[in-house]
Amino acid sequence: MPEPTSQRPLIADRRVVTDAWALCEAAEQRPEGRPAIIPLADWQASSKGEDLAPWLPSDTEMTAELARELEAAPLVAIDFPKFTDGRGYSIARLLRERHGYRGQIRAVGDVLIDQLFYMSRCGFDAFLLREDQLVEDALQALDTFSRSYQPGTDDPEPLFRRRLREAHKTAAA
């Protein structure tokens, strides 16, 4: 589990922000008077509310039932236990595309700047960086590529269709 968030930079909506949320390994570790991100099972057993958010492990099965339950969450944190574990990408993409989740989806755990561009294409809009990552480099990494070939949650149209549309506009002009 990650260390307390006080020393880890948070990027949300492509800018560095102060993290108001405490990332807690258990609900009983929640600090007084501060919103908390707690493990999914603890969140499901809680009274929920605007000051609690679920922390999904990377092996979470994103069912329609769970997605309906998550609609009430002000944010969803998805854990990356190690940078080579890509299951969190699928969880975020399913939440955004299949289930229409509109709240913040935050990457937590072993989050490296090399991954941010791809995470953003899968639906993440907040990143709790690993402590050794440089926030300035992370912000630049979000704009690594100017165009993407594949569709993503940020642009559902593949590049070949965008080019065809642009060619038709030029031909019609």
Give me the domain span that covers residue 142: 5-172
If residue 76 lies in a helix (H) or strand (E), which one and from where to where? strand 75-80
pLDDT of res. 19: 93
Kindly report the pTM of this predicted structure. 0.83
pLDDT of res. 5: 44
Q: Can you give the pLDDT of all 173 residues of the chain as single tens digits?
A: 444 445 688 999 999 999 999 999 988 888 888 999 999 999 999 888 889 999 999 999 999 999 999 999 999 999 999 999 999 999 999 999 999 999 999 999 999 999 999 999 999 999 999 999 999 999 999 888 766 667 677 767 776 777 788 888 888 87
pLDDT of res. 2: 45
Dihedral in degrees, nearest 10, Cα atoms 13, 16, 18, 19: 60
If residue 128 lies in a helix (H) or strand (E), which one and from where to where? strand 126-128
Question: 7: which 2 tokens?
Answer: 């020393």
- Alpha-carbon distance 84 to 109, whole Å? 12
Domains identified in the chain, total number: 1
Residue 41 neighbours by CB distance under 10 Å: 13
| 46 Cβ contact partners less than 8 Å away, ≥ 6 residues apart | 27, 38, 52
* Cα distance between the two ends of the chain: 57
